[in-house]
Structure 1
C-alpha cells in the first residue's frame, strides 16, 4: 500500500459527508466500512500521518492490534461516528492550512 495522502482520506470522507452529522443507531453499522478504511490509512506509515494528532494514530494502532477495550468501544456506531467526525474536521483544517500556506512560499 502506498503512503496515504490527504486526498486519500478526503475522498473516503466525501462519500459520507452529510451522514457524519446525522444521528445514528448506537449498534448500527452505518460507519463500519469507512471506519475500517480510515483505520487502515492511519495505520500506514506516511509523512501525512505524522502530522495527524497522536490520539487518532494510537486508536488505529490499538484497533489494528485487536486491543479488547478499543475494539469493544468501536463496536458502537456512534463512537465510530464521533471519531470519524473529529478526524474529518482535523483533515479539513489541515488541508486549508496547506493550501493557504504551501511549503516553499
Structure 2
C-alpha cells in the first residue's frame, strides 16, 4: 500500500463517521470522540505515510495519546480541541493527496 493509499484510508475514516468537512458542526454525540480515537490509531499505524506527516503536529501527539501521557490527554480533553486537531489532519491529508496526484499526472 502506498502513502497515498494510506492517506485515502485515513480520509475514509472521516467519511465513515460522516464528518468529512463537518468537524465544526458536530452534535453533542459520541461521533467526534469515536472519530478522534480512530484517527489517532490510524496515524500511529500508518506505516509508510508516517515519515511524511508533520511529526510535532500529528505523529507525536497521537503517540502520546495512545501511550496515555497525561499532558497529551489533558490537551485533548475538550471536544473543540479534538475537532481542531482532526480538522488539521483532514486538511493536510486532502492537500497531500491532491499535491501528489498532480505530481503523478
Alignment TM class, shorter chain as reference: 0.7 to 0.9
Aligned residue for 1:42? 43
Match of 2:19 in 1: 16
CA distance in structure 2 between the aligned counterparts of 1:53 and 1:70, rounded to whole angstroms? 17
Q: Which runs of 4+ in 1 moved over 2 A?
A: 21-25
1:66 corresponds to: 68
- How large is the RMSD of aligned CA atoms in angstroms? 2.2
Gaps of 5+ in 1: none
Structure that is richer in helix per residue: 2
Consecutive unaligned residues in structure 2, runs of 5 or more:
none
How many matched pairs?
Answer: 99
How far the C-alpha of 1:24 sits from its partner, in A, is: 6.3
Q: CA deviation at 1:22?
A: 2.3
TM-score for both structures, normalised by structure 1: 0.82
